[in-house]
Structure 1
């Protein structure tokens, strides 16, 4: 049977265009009717491509492929989420060691299945990268967790940080406000750094233990050393400001998607035995754990909703680029 769908795509000149498509499910795929999709900053990077946009989708399974019920417990009616990765092989060394996000044969947003996207009415999705949404999480909040939530969860969960660790969050925005919640509810001391005082009260309400306006190394001279820092600001920071507050062996997670260089000298790394760790989306088991944790602990994004229409998407993307969304945009499909 398959599904006819509408999808909103990028174009060479950057305009969002509406297109039609059809997909039949492959043996290990399901057809998902999309209800919501988060709007992520990385969608902007692909709006000049002829491809479906959106990678923080949530919806309901309406059809399953021939092998789905044999290989999984997914079924028609399940509410599911999907993210950056479209499919992983399951048999390479990365997959077999539980690092599916490093699969050597993975297909992903921007390079595969470009006829479809989560900015749309329906799509076909492989069960290897599909996730059931817990009942406690409403669909409008689930979308941003699939990418934004997973991005900040992985440094905290997959890299050995424990309750009591002092974790710095640089920036209170789409990623940062989720990082604060996860770290605080995991029992860590959350130290927030920002360029102004404007978001101090919000950061404290979200769970921050401390808040500092970071303008120079002297502005942070009284800060107790931190064990890790998540760089979530929209622009890369001057790391000279933050080096004095990093404990020996501290981890630096640059989560801002940028082609610019994060400036750190080898001497900085050697003297303080620092580690710079790249993190994208999380492994499969980690994302499942993130969704369970968010459901039980009440972690959810602060969202602004827009209709999943051409006008709605353009408005959402414009506000995102202007830095006016607080803090994650979510598209809502017409009922």
Structure 2
């Protein structure tokens, strides 16, 4: 049967256009009718590409491929979410080690299935990268978790941090405001760094233990050492300001997709045995754990809603580009 769908695509000029398509489900794919989709900063990188936009989709399964019943518990009517990755192989060393996000044969947003996207009415999606949404999580909040949430969850969950760890979070934006909630509800001491005092109260309300306004500061004297630092700002920070407050063995996670240089010398790393870890989205089991955690701990992204229309996509992406989004945009069918 398959599905005829509408999708909003980028173009070489950067204009958003409406396109039509059709997909039949492959043996390990399902058809998902999209109800909501988060608007991620990474979508902006593909606004000038001839491809369907959107990779934080949530919707309902309307049709399943021939092997889906045998290989999974996904069924018609399930509410599911999908993110950056489109398919993982399940048989490479990374997949077999539980790191599907490092799959050697993965397909992903921006390089595969460019005829479709979650800024649209429906997609065909492989079950290897599909996730059931717990009933406690409303669809409008689930979308931003599938990429933004999974990106800040992984450093906190997959890299040995634990309750009592002191975690620094740079920026109270689309990623940072979710990271604050996760870290706080995991029992960590959350130290938030932001340029000005304007977001202090919001950061504290979200669960921060401490708030530091950095504008004009030449050092961070008085801040106790940190075990980890999550960099969620859109611009690369002056690492000379933060290195002195990192404890020996601390981990740094640059999480914003940026081509700016993060200025560090080998000596900076050697003196305190620091580690810089590139991290984007989380492995399959980790995302499942994140969704269970969100359901029980009532973590909720702060969102602004827009209609799933050409005008709605343009408005949402413009607001995000101008830095005015508070804090995650969500398109609603």
Q: Give the structure 1 partner of residue 267 of structure 2.
A: 267
Q: Give the structure 1 partner of residue 70 of structure 2.
A: 70
SS in structure 1 of the partner of residue 105 of structure 2? coil
Q: 1:274 to 1:217 in 2, by over 3 A?
A: farther
SS in structure 1 of the partner of residue 80 of structure 2? strand
Normalising by structure 1, we get a TM-score of 0.99
* Deviation at residue 17 of structure 1 after TM alignment: 0.5
* Deviation at residue 218 of structure 1 after TM alignment: 4.3
2:18 is the counterpart of 1:18: yes
Q: Give the structure 1 partner of residue 128 of structure 2.
A: 128
CA distance in 2, matches of 1:306, 1:166: 36
Deviations for 1:127-169, whole angstroms, at most 9, x for unmatched residues?
A: 0000000000000000000000000000000000000000000
Residue ranges of structure 1 left out of the alignment (5+ in a row):
none
Q: Give the structure 2 partner of residue 307 of structure 1.
A: 307
SS in structure 1 of the partner of residue 324 of structure 2? coil
Deviations for 1:95-115, whole angstroms, at most 9, x for unmatched residues?
A: 000000000000000000000
* Deviation at residue 217 of structure 1 after TM alignment: 6.0
Residue ranges of structure 2 left out of the alignment (5+ in a row):
none
CA distance in 2, matches of 1:142, 1:281: 15
Runs of 4+ residues over 6 Å off in structure 1: none
* Deviation at residue 216 of structure 1 after TM alignment: 5.8
Deviations for 1:179-208, whole angstroms, at most 9, x for unmatched residues?
A: 000000000000000100000000000000
CA distance in 1, matches of 2:323, 2:249: 34
- Asked if the contact 1:174/1:327 (under 8 Å) is kept, the reply is yes
* Deviation at residue 290 of structure 1 after TM alignment: 0.3
- Asked if the contact 2:235/2:260 (under 8 Å) is kept, the reply is no
SS in structure 2 of the partner of residue 45 of structure 1? helix
Q: Give the structure 1 partner of residue 119 of structure 2.
A: 119
Q: 1:197 to 1:219 in 2, by over 3 A?
A: farther
CA distance in 2, matches of 1:261, 1:69: 47
2:144 is the counterpart of 1:159: no
* Deviation at residue 215 of structure 1 after TM alignment: 3.5
- Asked if the contact 1:217/1:244 (under 8 Å) is kept, the reply is no
**Pairs aligned (count):** 333
CA distance in 1, matches of 2:153, 2:284: 12
SS in structure 1 of the partner of residue 184 of structure 2? helix
- Asked if the contact 1:80/1:132 (under 8 Å) is kept, the reply is yes
CA distance in 2, matches of 1:87, 1:5: 20
